[in-house]
Structure 1
């Protein structure tokens, strides 16, 4: 069993942690609006000044519509009748050609109701798997 599947399966074994069924996958352009809503939560919760915030159009263009996107994104989403994105991790590789394949984690965020349920860890694990 892969580490990711193990993390998701472990949730039902941990006492006092309600079971949540979720998957981690690469974000697609169709996910952009839901991800941006979480990005807004992130900005608000961590007090990111408006001067440092991306607007929705720039976020979509830079991450999803560009030939060379400025960032990559994995999402965590529930496995229900209607998938709901509950978290994301934004990461990028530096443009310089450096030794190895460095990856910079820009932001990792999980909506409050889904925290401390291994979602954060699963997103982080998925990101380091690309290294």
Structure 2
């Protein structure tokens, strides 16, 4: 088995991360919803006095094979917490613990920040079993929370 290195992403990694973002969107059958590019990732994550996200990459032999993106949010019940936006590993590198290593890297940051670690998972995603094994609670089932969204079109319609 090849060694997998987990490290903070750099500006130069964003083209590879963006390609993986497109792969994730394809995997989730939502490729038409990707509206950014690598330049936006660079601006939002590295050229801002307050970066909008933190990114880790998984690499094998200096090739980026996965990534995880999170951001700090505020919960009025627990204070600062972490929202894991994306965690994805290239299909060719699955079952080698890269996803698990990325997840535990984010979980460690969340633990140090305090509060909680929140994330969403599609109901059909096989990773759901892993998340349950590590103690994640399905809030849709247990607390009846539902994730809702107003996309850009819906927001525009609100103000027409």
Among 74, 80, 85, the alignment partner of 1:106 is 85
Structure showing greater relative contact order (alpha-carbon pairs closer than 8 Å, 6 or more residues apart): 1
Q: CA RMSD in A?
A: 1.9
Aligned counterparts of 1:57 and 1:68: Cα–Cα separation in 2: 17
Deviation string, structure 1 residues 6-30 (Cα, Å, up to 9, x no partner):
xxxxxxxxxxxxx121110110111
Q: TM-score, normalised by structure 2?
A: 0.62
Matched with 2:96 is 117
Conservation of the 8 A alpha-carbon contact between 2:22 and 2:34:
no
2:70 matches 1:88 = no
Q: TM-score, normalised by structure 1?
A: 0.75
Aligned counterparts of 2:44 and 2:77: Cα–Cα separation in 1: 23
2:30 matches 1:48 = yes
Larger Rg over CA atoms: 2
Closer/same/farther in 2, CA of residues 98 and 65 from structure 1, 3 Å limit? farther
Matched with 1:35 is 17
Matched with 1:21 is 3
2:107 matches 1:128 = yes
Conservation of the 8 A alpha-carbon contact between 1:63 and 1:71:
yes
